[in-house]
Structure formats: C-alpha cells, structure tokens
Structure 1
C-alpha cells in the first residue's frame, strides 16, 4: 500500500439519492481537486483556508459534470491527518461515477476498505481501538451499541488502557534499571507501591473482562428462544413483540416447522427473538428436523421463554411443571421465563390457581397484547445495563477481550512473583508481556496482518 498517494471513494451509501459525498485524501488531494473545480466566485481552491466550504462546478475540460459543494480540510486538522476534500454532489449514480472516474484520470487511486480510517490511525489521529469503534458505530443498530461505540471512539476505553500501561511501564523501567545495578543489590522500584499497582490493574482488568459478557450480546443482539408445545401461541407472541405478521399463525399444530428470527430494540438494546418449532413427539420427518433445530436454538440463546396454553394447562399443571423442570435441569445457567398464554380465556379463579402452582409465571395474551409489556420489562431486567447507565467502559470487541485475558494472565504472574520474592529479571519478562498485550489493544504493538484483518471489515469510503 502506498501511503503517499491520493485516494478517492464514495463516502455515502451506493445507489441513487438526494446527494452523495465523494472523499479524497492525500498530500495532493487539494491540488488534484483544484484542477477539476471551478468556484462560482472565482476562488482558487488551493488558496482557501481549512474547514471551508465552496460552491462551484466539477468540470471535465469544457464540460460541466455537476454543481457541487467542496469542503476543504488541511493537514493535520482532518480526519485522516492528510489534506482531505469532500465533494457533495447530486446523488445520481451516473454523476457519482463520472466524478470518481474524472479524478482517477487525474492521478487518484480507489481507496481500499477502511483505508481512510487506516490512514487516520497511521497518522496518529486515532488509536487502533478507536479506529475499530468507527466500524462498530457504523454497524450500530440500537441505542446501547451506539452508546458503547461512541464512548470507545471518543477514547474512553483507550485512555483507561493507556493509563494502566503508563503506570506499569514506569515500574518496568525501574525494574530494568535494577538489573543494570544487580551487583550493587539496590532496589529502585518500591515493592509496596508496585503491589498496590498490580492489585489496581487486576481489578480494572477483571472488570473489563467481565463486561464482555454484556458487551458482546449488546453488540450482536441478545438471542431469545421462544419454546413450547405446538399451537400454544409462539408465533402469535413473536408477531405481538414485532408488531407485524412475521410468523404464520394457524390452529394447525406443527405449522412452524423451522426457526423464524427477527430483531427488535427494547429499551435501546437489541433482542433477537427466535420462534421455534413446537416440541412434541412426531413422525413427520420435516417437523422432526424443526424440533431438533429448536433445541439447537435453545443452546445458542441467552434467554429461553417457555410458553404454554393456559386454557389447556390449567387442567394439566403437573405436565407443565415437569416440562419446566426438564428445561431448568438441562440449561441450569440460562435464564428461563415461564409464560401462560391465552389468559384472556380464563376466569379469575383459574388465573389465581396458575400463579399459585407455577412460580414466577407471567400471565399473557399474545392475541390481545395483555402482559407483553411486562415480558419486555423482565427481559430488560435480565440484562445488566447498570454499566451503560453509569457510562462505564464495556468491552465488545473479541480481539480486545483476548488481549485483556492475556494481559490479566501475565499480571497474575507478576503478582505471584511479588508475593514469592521472584528475582527482578524473571519478573521483568512477565511485565514486558503484559505491556505487549496492552499495546496490542491500542495499536502501539501491531503488524500488517493485524491491520489488514481489521480494516478489511470496514466499508469502502470510511
């Protein structure tokens, strides 16, 4: 990759629209743009100040391609740290391609996926974790994932890691200095302060590692499996949650023969509801495959919703309790919500009997919508959103999580070395490894393969 050439790409979504934005970045971006831009006021683009917008026309010789607005950002005060030009043109796909092709002929090169953000990283405008947060922000589809990505892009996670790394690096330097004066038997690093630092680092690392359990499901959507016998209203409940006729509903048992998934946002958090085939004994080969998939989806889900027909269940409470116990015993760590559906058909005495015999049962009518709000409230309570409310750092990136685990392992070795009086040269090895894993997160330690893997997942133009 040539980091000195000028790159160009469509920065807005492809396809026709009201306007489109075409971005150029590189040392010659302003010079190249000046060749094809004629300001209505006669200004020369190269002579204009940074962070200014100019009305004019993109021209190819004597031919006017489009009337545009050109934004000028001069290095180092731009997104990439280079000269950047952004052309706001009309959103015709023809116009977009004409402008891009014109600048390619003037010496630009089509940008690779994520290359603008890669240049921002290489030029010190963002660290690696902030750069990754840009992709997360673009991909965010609910309030919670957006909030986490914004916090990380603003450097919340980076600053926390950088502070720990700086303190550890300071002690590492003192330990290394001791090695240079090994014959004098001197101690430059205060072991008491070092122990306090290790305890503090351990606490922070553990909190960040533990946050991944919440962060990962928030980022990817929390899978909720809706299970139960055939014809108890699972598809009707899914439709009620989604406010649309997403799943086929009929009185025929076994109508749902495959899993149906859809996602909604509840309280700013994405939940992916999975309507599964009804669980029962069947000789139907296709339905059997669907039931097998049901158990696979329970395995993959974070929460299981067990639904039963309250009208039939009131006369068969023992069977319902046995089914509930089976699920609890098979998935003891998985939250289980028990829902009695079709309660609009029961008397008050029957409702009281249900609540008496089945602990924690949620009374609901998917058909009328009664109890649906209570269900969504309970789903939110199952997710630890305290960290979001308190604006704490939440880890959502698998690469960061892996580096944190490795750093934690090395810090535990350092802690053990301090407790057992391990020699400074051996302890220095563990400290260096911990520093290495901290550096992996922010990009102070990196390689071309890692950068290639990260930025390949970006969209073109960002």
Structure 2
C-alpha cells in the first residue's frame, strides 16, 4: 500500500469539531506542507502520540486553526503514519481541509479502508475488525460489551488456540504419512485420536456460547401472539413505553406486523406485534393472520397472551403443542379475577400470571427472557462469545470436518485420506481469523464500514 488515504472520520453535518484522518507513507509529508505549528521546535522533534495546535493552510491561505494528532508507524491503528486533523465543525471548513490534503497527494479513502490497512498490517485480525463494526452499531450495553470483548482479542485467542491445535494435528498426520511404519502408526492412532478429541472439544466449547452471542448481537426475535383484543398491542406499547400500536376495543385492529427493537433487562428484543389469530372472513385480516403464523415459525421466543380464567382456544393450543420450547404464556388480566388460576404445564412452556394494565408479571417476564438468552442462568456470561453469522458458520463447518476425521480414524481409513477433513477444518478456522480468506470476502466485510473508519 504505497498510496496515502484521507477521509472525514466524523459524521457529516454541523458540529463543534470535525476530524479528518490521513494514513500512509506520505501522511507526514502532506501535513508538513499544510500545517504551521505554534511550537515548531516541538513539532520538529517528531514525537509520537502528541498533539499540536497551529494553522492549517492551503498555500498562503489560512483555512482554520486546528489541532493535529500525530501517530507514527508502526505504533498506530493502521500500522502506517497516521495524522488526524481536528478542525471546526462546519462542513465548509472540513471540506476545504479535505480538498487541500487531496491536492497535496492523498486520495479519498474507500469504505473501511483504514481498518482494512490495519488488518493487512497485522494490527488486528478479522474477528477484531468485524468487532469494530459491531461496536459502532451496538444497540444496547450488552451488545457493546460483547463487541468490545471481541475487539480486545479475547475471542481471537480462543480461535487461535483451536486453529493451532488443528494445525499441529495435521502436522502429526503428515509425519505419520512420511514415516509409514506399521507398528509406529498403530501406536500413534491413540495419540491422533486424543488430538482430534481435543480439537472437537475446543470447537464445541466455542460454539456453545454462539447462540447467546448471536442474540446479544442481533437481538432475540420475539413474536407477540394471541386472539384479537387480548392485549397484544397494549403489551407492545408497555414494553416500548410509548403508544406505538393502536389500542381499541374493536377486535382485529392490527392487520399487519409491527416491528420494533426494545431493551429488556440489557437484552435486545426484535418485537413483532401480529394480527390476532382467529377464524375470519375478512380477506385483509386473513392475510394478516397468515403472516402471524409465518412469524411464529421463525420466532426465537413466542409471547402467547391468553385471557386469564378462560379455556384455551384451538389456535392457542396449537401454538403450545408445536412450539412449547419457545413459548411463554402470559395469562393477561389476572387483576380482574378473584383468584389466580392454577397453572398446568402442558409441555415445556412457561406460564406467568400477567396484567398489562396493572404492570403485573413484567419482572418475571424479564427473568424468563434472561434465562433463555443465557442458557438457563440469569447471570451474564463473561467469556468472549461468537456472535457473527459468518464466523459461526465457518466454525460449524470446521467442527463437522473434525468429527468426520474422527469417524474415519475409527473406521481405519488411511491417514492420507483422513487428512483431507483435517485440512478442510484448518481452512474453515483460518477463514474466521483471516489467515486464509478470499479477497471477495474481505471486500464484502470492509465495505460494510463507513468511509473514514
């Protein structure tokens, strides 16, 4: 990367400060042509991690008084010389500063190019690079903490440990192929089995927390279902703490899905309010009910609201029968009953006495949601977790290849054939951290960044 790039690192619009970032071999040369420091003696000492106040110029024209941050290679984010110019936040000023840098030899950076250079220069791996995107786009504290743990390298170290195990296993197999003495191979089969088991255990442990990680990253897809006028939209509004859905006494008000994000106890829910499930002759309402059933099929959590004290309808019974492991039954309007009804668990579902109007049962609901997200424990996990679909898919593929290799070993398959599966596992794990990844995938990942990052 012989060229030098520049971009606006702060969001477009009027602000108190804008930051223009320059990175590359000519960064220091370009800034020397444009910047007149107040303390030139200190500036000329070329000290790293320092700030300087001075005038930014385009030839003889002063554009602004700026603050310059100097971060020299290799001790910078990109591993190259990096200069950051903090100027006043008007768009006109920032544009003139940017245009001057371009005039002096820099080119406009592409989306994610600063982070891409950091990756290619070995300042971070692909897991950490993707964690930057997640940290920027985090919607709550839990997803931000998860991304930060990944950025700090906790997840990368686990992936590296697993990859090194598989690499050593492959080297062990190849050594056995190079020295095919029957008595030695028979003795080494047990050692190879132990190595494969170790790799499988590491992969399974890493994959175990991926469900929680994905939920913290993307949110828990949660569908609110029930008969018309049972309190679905009221629950959505209560969780949102605003009048997001229309609430009336007229059945069938909700004809289409309403989707919103809401933070419940530090967990992000993708809430979907649906049309009431019932028999209907209304064409539009029937279309809404069909969408409800499709949403139920995709849901990770189903909040089934029923009328407390009444028998289950056929539709409510069907939901419990088919999706009991994903259902929390909210017996709404218990506040109007003399006695709280006896709860009979039908399968694996959870039943909660509830009242949207009186705010009864919300604490229990939050507790149950946390148990499901954190796999039976309401205590938040501290271990770094996989949360990225690409990474999870590659790990599952690698784990499958290791299990295939184990099966081949048990079946007495020759080692040269067995090694194919181990090589495939190594390729999958290398793709997670970026040691072996196609250029097209890198382009896809880094173009998700904004320009200037």
Q: Under a length normalisation based on structure 2, what TM-score does the superposition of the two structures give?
A: 0.92
SS in 1 for 2:342: helix
Match in the other structure for 2:164: 166
What's the CA shift for 1:45?
4.5
- Taking the aligned partners of 2:317 and 2:18, their CA distance within structure 1 comes to 57
Task: Establish whether residue 439 from structure 1 lines up as the match of residue 439 from structure 2.
Answer: no
Residues 60-107 of structure 1: CA distance to partner in whole angstroms, max 9, x if unpaired? 223222222110000000000000011112221222211111111111
What's the CA shift for 1:402?
2.0
Match in the other structure for 2:320: 328
- Taking the aligned partners of 1:421 and 1:293, their CA distance within structure 2 comes to 52
Task: Establish whether residue 397 from structure 1 lines up as the match of residue 361 from structure 2.
Answer: no
- Taking the aligned partners of 1:43 and 1:267, their CA distance within structure 2 comes to 54
- Taking the aligned partners of 1:173 and 1:299, their CA distance within structure 2 comes to 45
SS in 2 for 1:138: helix
Task: Establish whether residue 355 from structure 1 lines up as the match of residue 347 from structure 2.
Answer: no
SS in 1 for 2:10: coil
- Taking the aligned partners of 2:411 and 2:345, their CA distance within structure 1 comes to 54
What's the CA shift for 1:408?
1.4
| Greater mean deviation of Cα atoms: 191-200 or 41-50 | 41-50
- Taking the aligned partners of 1:358 and 1:197, their CA distance within structure 2 comes to 45
- Taking the aligned partners of 2:21 and 2:344, their CA distance within structure 1 comes to 65
Rate the CA distance shift 1:39–1:323 in 2: closer, same or farther, 3 A: same
Match in the other structure for 1:146: 144
SS in 2 for 1:23: strand
- Quick check: 1:237–1:366 contact (8 Å CA) kept in 2? yes
Matches within 5 A, 1:227-376: 227-310=225-308, 314=309, 317-318=310-311, 320=312, 322-333=314-325, 335-347=326-338, 349=339, 351=340, 354-356=341-343, 361-376=351-366
Rate the CA distance shift 1:173–1:338 in 2: closer, same or farther, 3 A: closer
Rate the CA distance shift 1:178–1:233 in 2: closer, same or farther, 3 A: closer
SS in 1 for 2:244: coil
SS in 2 for 1:331: helix
Rate the CA distance shift 1:290–1:430 in 2: closer, same or farther, 3 A: closer
Rate the CA distance shift 1:160–1:104 in 2: closer, same or farther, 3 A: same
What's the CA shift for 1:182?
3.9
- Quick check: 1:175–1:188 contact (8 Å CA) kept in 2? no
Rate the CA distance shift 1:424–1:296 in 2: closer, same or farther, 3 A: closer
What's the CA shift for 1:167?
3.0
Match in the other structure for 1:83: 81
Unaligned 5+ runs, structure 2: none
What's the CA shift for 1:44?
7.1
SS in 1 for 2:190: helix
What's the CA shift for 1:399?
1.6
Unaligned 5+ runs, structure 1: none
| Greater mean deviation of Cα atoms: 383-392 or 240-249 | 383-392
Task: Establish whether residue 418 from structure 1 lines up as the match of residue 416 from structure 2.
Answer: no
- Quick check: 1:171–1:189 contact (8 Å CA) kept in 2? no
Residues 398-451 of structure 1: CA distance to partner in whole angstroms, max 9, x if unpaired? 221222122112212322233244333223333222222221111111221121
- Taking the aligned partners of 1:381 and 1:390, their CA distance within structure 2 comes to 11
- Quick check: 1:30–1:45 contact (8 Å CA) kept in 2? no
- Quick check: 1:411–1:430 contact (8 Å CA) kept in 2? yes
What's the CA shift for 1:322?
4.1
What's the CA shift for 1:332?
4.2
* Count of residues paired in the alignment: 449
Rate the CA distance shift 1:221–1:284 in 2: closer, same or farther, 3 A: same
SS in 1 for 2:306: strand
Rate the CA distance shift 1:182–1:309 in 2: closer, same or farther, 3 A: closer
- Taking the aligned partners of 2:281 and 2:169, their CA distance within structure 1 comes to 69
- Taking the aligned partners of 1:227 and 1:219, their CA distance within structure 2 comes to 24
The structure 1 residue matched to 2:367, chosen from 377, 386, 396, is 377
SS in 2 for 1:459: coil
- Quick check: 2:162–2:203 contact (8 Å CA) kept in 1? no
What's the CA shift for 1:393?
3.3
The structure 1 residue matched to 2:451, chosen from 450, 454, 460, is 460
What's the CA shift for 1:269?
1.4
- Taking the aligned partners of 2:244 and 2:103, their CA distance within structure 1 comes to 49
